[in-house]
Amino acid sequence: MVPRRRKIFGICIATESLKGEDKTTITKLCELCKKGKKKMGSEGGGAIVRKPRFLCLHGFRTSGEIMKIQLHKWPKSVIDRLDLVFLDAPFPCQGKSDVEGIFDPPYYEWFQFNKEFTEYTNFEKCLEYLEDRMIKLGPFDGLIGFSQGAILSGGLPGLQAKGIALQKVPKIKYIIIIGGAMFKSTKLIENAYSSSLDTLSLHFLGETDFLKPYGTELIEFFKSPVVVHHPKGHTVPRLDEKSLEKVTGFIETLEHLVMEEEKKNDEENNSKQK
C-alpha cells in the first residue's frame, strides 16, 4: 500500500502504517528531513519550516556580488540563518564608483538623482525592475539594503501599502537597513512615510556615517524598530557582542513568525483537502 503523506511545518509525515522495509525507509527519510529543518544557530533545537528569505539591495555604484562580500563580515551563525538573494541594480554605473580599486567591477546603480537628492531619474523603471525580479526569484519575506539599497528598502513598504509599488508580490514584512536614509523627493516622502509602518525593521546607524541623521529620521516611521549603533562610518559593520545579541534576537523573532505563518498556511491547505 502506498502511504498517504501530509506536511507539518514542511516535514513529510506518513499518515498510514507501512509494512516491513518500506516503513523503516520512510522513518529514516523523515528523520533526515527533520534534521534538515532544525533551527540553526540557536539553542533548543526547535524545528523551523524554512529560513527567512531576503532580497538584498546593494549600495550606489556597487553590485550584488560586492554586497555579498560585505554582508559576510557577519558571523556564519547569522548568515546561515537567512536565505539571501543578491541582485544587481538595473542600471550600469554612470560615473566613478567609490569602491573602485577596492572591489572589482562591474558596478550598478538603482536610479539617478540630482545634487540635492530631491529629483530622481529612472525611479519608476527601478520599481518595475524590482517587481519583475521579485516575481521571478521570490517570494521574499523582506529586504536587506545598504546605502542606496537601504533608502529603497526603507521606502518600499510604504509605497507598497499605498498601492504605488510592488502590487504583484507579497507584502514586505521585514527589512534590515544598513546606512540608510529617507527619500528626499517631496512626492515620495508623502507616499512612503505617510503613516507608521508595521514592517518589522532592524536599523544599523554608524557613529561617523554621513547619513546617520537621515537614518535616524527614518526610524521614527516604524512602530517597533530594533536599532544597532556602531562606531564606524558608511559601511556594513562587523558585529560585536552587543550588536550580535540584537541581530540574533531579531532573527529569532523572524524565524518564529515564519514558522507561525507556515503553520497557518498548512492548516488552511489541510482544511481545503478534507
The rounded Cα 54 to chain-centroid distance in angstroms is 3
Average pLDDT of the chain, as a whole number: 85
Contact 177, 203 (CB under 8 A): yes
Instruction: Give the per-residue pLDDT at 274.
Output: 66
Q: Where does residue 97 fall: left (phi above 0), alpha (psi -120 to 50 degrees), or beta otherwise?
A: beta
Cis peptide before 157 (omega within 30 of 0): no
Distance CA(203)–CA(180), nearest Å, equals 8
- Cα 96 to Cα 254: distance, rounded to the nearest angstrom: 38
Q: How far is CA 19 from the centre of its chain?
A: 45
Query: Which residue ranges does the chain devote to CATH 3.40.50.1820?
Result: 53-253
| pLDDT tens column, 171-221 | 999 999 999 999 999 989 999 998 788 999 999 999 999 999 999 999 999
Q: Which regions of the chain are under pLDDT 50?
A: 1-46, 48
pLDDT one-digit tens code per residue, 122-151: 999 999 999 999 999 999 999 999 999 999
What is the per-residue pLDDT for 222?
A: 94
Closest CA to 202 of 223, 225, 171, 182: 225
- pLDDT for 177 equals 98
The H or E element containing residue 159 is helix 148-161
DSSP state letter for 251: H
CATH 3.40.50.1820 fits 53-253, yes or no: yes
Measured in degrees and rounded to the nearest 5, phi and psi for residue 32 equal: -65, -40
pLDDT of residue 265: 79
Interaxial angle between packed helices 123-137 and 148-161, expressed in degrees from 0 to 180 and rounded to the nearest 10: 80
The partner residues of 84 in beta bridges, in order of sequence, read: 54
pTM of the model: 0.81
